[in-house]
Amino acid sequence: MAENTNTPESDTQAAAPQTHVAPGPHLSDRKLSTRRMMVDVIIGLLPVTVAAVIMFRRYALLQLAVAIGGCLAAEALFACMRKRRPTLGDCSAIVTGMILALSLPWNTPVYVGLIAAFIAIGIGKMVFGGVGYNLFNPAMVGRAFVMLAFAGAVGAPAYVEAGDVGELRDKMPWLESLGAMPAQYAEAPDGGADTVSAATPMTAKKMKDAGEEGGFLTKFKNLAVGNTIGSLGEVSAIACLLGGLYLCLRRTASWEIPAGAIGAVVILGGIGNLMDPSSGWTVLDDLAGGALLFGAFFIVTDPVTSPLTPKGKLIFGVLFGALVMLLRGYSNYPEGVMFAVLMVNAIAPLLNRWTVPKPLGGPAPIPVK
């Protein structure tokens, strides 16, 4: 029987294997799949999620449900628009939704969370080709869009709708029972506890540095445990460390990236302490405050948007940590993790080019003429 040679070109291209050529040795692990890595990230995010739910109760659950549901719906919609089978089974949309939700304030309006989810999946991932092809972290793309488009709902004023501590007590009375309220305002001006805006620790520090009324420093123990106001994923440094170490031990996250980020913050924060030892803000506060640890372990470690080589990953982490400190200190934003992530994502391909390792056995010999 003659072999049929009239195979359509599209079928031939679809059947052709897609390979990525890199310096040897070429080793692979059949157990290392996208789904397994995404499940690991979900497990790693559980301590952060639990801390957020303990702190913000039903508000945290609502943000998680909206973001995850929106990402799953967007994944299915855009896949159908491109006439492709939805890849919901790999859990990547769930991870994007969890990271997006944990990067938002507790009282983000539902419509803002949905818009962020659709932007994250549609603009942050699907326009590049889907899973494994995106240049920027999808969750941060969605977060950046709503941060700029709905600044009043997602920016610093969003953490307390009326900017009044009394209303915060009315909305979340359990905070005072946890000790969050007294701890948050323990160092506020005398008599100002009921009038000081319930700012995040980084915003309060920014206000203090600028000499504005109501600025104060949050104690380190409250930053570590989570008795503070902030985005859902940044309230507990201990929870971020637990989940992040799990990812590094599982090798789902490359340890070089968080190590580089933490090292950069320690060095720059230490220099700041030496220049102004009376500020009351230490390197530990730089590490535990804001979303630095959350970003270093769960966002910039995304294997798709980070470099491939160990040296490139270390440089990538150092640049991320340095940019966070730069944005915190010299920009108008009290926190710089989101913008730092997007900036280092953009230069990841260059780091791959600059840090190509030598092939196994050394470079190929040059033939003698």
Is cis: bond before 47, omega within 30 of 0? no
Helix, coil or strand: residue 277: helix
Question: CA dist 79 to 76, 96, 97, 120, 284, Å?
Answer: 5, 16, 17, 14, 44
Report pLDDT for 347: 94
Structure tokens at 302: 């995304």
Q: What is the number of alpha carbons within 13 Å of residue 140 lying toward its C-beta?
A: 24
335: phi > 0 → left, psi -120 to 50 → alpha, else beta; which? beta
Structure tokens at 166: 């009394």
CA 167 – CA 156 distance, rounded (Å): 16
CA 20 – CA 118 distance, rounded (Å): 30
85: Cβ contacts below 8 Å, ≥ 6 apart? 79
Report pLDDT for 230: 79
**Among 318, 222, 208, 312, CA closest to 266:** 318
Helix, coil or strand: residue 245: helix
Are the C-beta atoms of 136 and 170 separated by less than 8 Å? no
227: Cβ contacts below 8 Å, ≥ 6 apart? 178, 179, 180, 183, 184
Number of helices followed by number of strands (H, E) in the chain: 18, 0
Report pLDDT for 323: 96
Question: 156-179: b or e for each residue (b if 16 or more CB lie within 10 Å)?
Answer: bbbbbeeeebeebeeebeebeeee
Report pLDDT for 215: 67
| Consecutive 10-residue averages of pLDDT for the chain (369 residues) | 47 49 53 83 95 87 95 92 81 94 90 95 89 90 93 67 47 50 37 44 76 72 78 89 94 94 94 83 87 94 92 95 92 88 95 82 71
Structure tokens at 110: 């539902």
Are the C-beta atoms of 316 and 341 separated by less than 8 Å? no
